[in-house]
Each structure stands twice: as C-alpha cells, then as structure tokens.
Amino acid sequence: MLKIDIERPMLTSEGKKTLKICSEIEDRELLCLFGHSGSGKTTLLRILAGLTTPSKGKIVYNDTVWFDSDKKINLSPQLRNVGYMFQDYALFPNMSVEGNICFAQKKKDTEAIEGLLELFDLSALRKQKPTQLSGGQRQRVALARALAAKPSLLLLDEPLSALDFEMRSALQHEIRKAHQLLNTVTILVSHDVNEVCSLASSVMTIKNGKVMAQGRPKDIFGEGTFQHYSQFLGEITALSELFLG
C-alpha cells in the first residue's frame, strides 16, 4: 500500500497554490490522476519518484519510508525503484531501442530483454535509434524500459497525450499489459476522461493542488458518463476493425 500525506507550494498560472495530498492507494491499483493542467498531477508524480521534494509530510510504500520531513528521511530516486515514464519519453538518443532497455537493468538479463521486446512488438526495431521511431513506437520503448528495471511502482506522466486517437486506444492496451505484468501499483496522469474511463481501476481528481474525490471511475464521473465513454470507445473500436481490418 502507498500512503501519501504531503504538502508543497507550487506556482500555477493562477498564482501561488499549495499542493496538499493525503491519500492511500491499494496494491495492484491502476490509479489515474485526473485534473486540469497546472492542478498538481505531474508534481505529485515527481514527488513520488523523488525528483521533487515536498516541503513537509510523509510517503510510505509497503512499510518503507520514502519521505518523512520530521525524521529528515528522503530516499533518492535511485533507491525508490520506481518506473517513471516521462511525457517526452526521455529515451536516450545515443542508445538503440535495445540499448535503452538494457540500460535500465540492474544486471544484464538477455532473456528478460527478449521478453520485453517481444511483448511490446519491438523485436524488429531493436537496433533503431529513438529518433528513427514514430511516437507510438517511442511510447512502447519507454514503457518497456520502465518495466526492465522491475520497478515496485509504475508512474506514467500523460503517456498518450502526444498521440492520435487510433494510436491512443492501441497503446492503452499496452499500458494495461504493463500493469498486469508488474502486478503492482500503477499511477497514470491524465486530463482525458476517455482515457481514465478506459484504463483506470480508480481515479483521484485533483483541483488546485487538492484531492477533490477518489474512487472508481463510474463513481467519480457518474454511471452515465462512464457508460457513454465505454460505449463510445466500443463503437470506435468496432468501426476501426470494420474499416481498417
């Protein structure tokens, strides 16, 4: 279980605000952080990864204290063992697809690399450099690299924001696959209701740095909205299959 109780001032387009999050996230949950731009979603993700330090509070994951301002504990990102997928994917241009995935491993495990390349359909692209890949391919490499380190927590920062609709629905499937493979907590940032309804087992809505609600997507967005998006998604998928084969 991930327990978060933190505070941190943040600068938004509407001026200074305080990010104040108090929440508990169950094991094996795929949680979507939902909210408008500047609400604090990415800051929370960065705080969990150890890339940004809260001004006060506590973060405990599976009985390990990651951050405690009172006891002056702040584990470095290297010690938290999180898989973080950045908005720009942050693939290293000097390394090939395979090189990027290998780099993430603590000990070289060729079998695991082959498994990941196959799982994300990257075997044919293994020698390509990130600059030679499409947006969707880069997303799959970033996801495979995040998984290669066998993280105990998977953090995805708007992983699908730069992609078109068709690519988004295909890659939502990859994210579900990644979550199932890790069998741990996955936290995903999104400001797209469609994405949240399709992927998440639970949702945390954040507004101006505060948690407005947390629960299942249909409880948060209402049964109607949830069904509407599910039905809409189903229709689009059916149409895509019909026309694109």
Partner 1 sequence: MNDDFLQTLLLTGKLATITTIILLFIGLPLGYLLAYKRFRFKPLIEALISMPLVLPPTVLGFYMLVAYSPQNTIGHFLEHTLNLRLAFSFEGILVASVLFSLPFMVQPLQNGFASIPRSYREASYTLGKSFFITFTRVLIPNIKPSIITAIAMTFAHCIGEFGVVIMVGGNMPGETRVASIAIYDEVQSLNYDTANKYSFVLFIVSMVILTIIYSINGNKKTF
Please report how close the Cβ of residue 144 comes to partner 1 at its closest, in angstroms. Answer: 12
CB contact burial 83-116 (16+ within 10 A = b; e otherwise):
bbbbeebebeeeebbbbbbbebbeeeeeebbeeb
Rule CB under 8 A: say whether 235 interacts with partner 1: no
Amino acid at 66: W
Please report how close the Cβ of residue 45 comes to partner 1 at its closest, in angstroms. Answer: 11
Please report how close the Cβ of residue 96 comes to partner 1 at its closest, in angstroms. Answer: 12
Rule CB under 8 A: say whether 245 interacts with partner 1: no
Rule CB under 8 A: say whether 90 interacts with partner 1: yes
Please report how close the Cβ of residue 50 comes to partner 1 at its closest, in angstroms. Answer: 8
Rule CB under 8 A: say whether 232 interacts with partner 1: no
Question: How far is residue 204's CA from residue 27's CA, in Å, rounded to a whole number?
Answer: 15
Q: Which of residues 136-155 bind partner 1 (CB under 8 A)?
A: 145, 149
Question: How far is residue 173's CA from residue 179's CA, in Å, rounded to a whole number?
Answer: 10
Q: Which of residues 5-64 bind partner 1 (CB under 8 A)?
A: 49-51
Coil vs helix vs strand at 152: coil
Please report how close the Cβ of residue 184 comes to partner 1 at its closest, in angstroms. Answer: 15
Stretch of residues binding partner 1 (CB under 8 A), selected from 9-17, 78-86, 190-198, 236-244: 78-86
| Sequence-separated (6 or more) residues with CB below 8 Å from residue 139 | 89, 159, 160, 163, 171, 174
Q: Which is nearer to partner 1, 148 or 193 (CB)?
A: 148
HSE (CB half, 13 Å, CA atoms) of 24?
Answer: 4
Q: Which of residues 199-218 bind partner 1 (CB under 8 A)?
A: none
Rule CB under 8 A: say whether 82 interacts with partner 1: yes
8 A C-beta contact, residue 167 and residue 96: no
Please report how close the Cβ of residue 89 comes to partner 1 at its closest, in angstroms. Answer: 8
Q: How far is CA 102 from CA 2, 110, 204, in A?
A: 28, 8, 33
Q: Which is nearer to partner 1, 76 or 183 (CB)?
A: 76
- Total number of residues binding partner 1 (CB under 8 A)? 23
Please report how close the Cβ of residue 224 comes to partner 1 at its closest, in angstroms. Answer: 38
**Phi and psi at residue 41, to the nearest 5°:** -65, -55
Amino acid at 155: L
Question: How far is residue 144's CA from residue 242's CA, in Å, rounded to a whole number?
Answer: 30
203 CB-contact burial (10 Å; exposed 0-12 / middle 13-18 / buried 19+): buried
Rule CB under 8 A: say whether 76 interacts with partner 1: yes
| Among positions 35, 40, 57, 83, the unique one binding partner 1 when judged by CB under 8 A | 83
Binding site for partner 1 (CB under 8 A): 49-51, 76-78, 80-84, 86-88, 90, 92-94, 103-104, 106, 145, 149
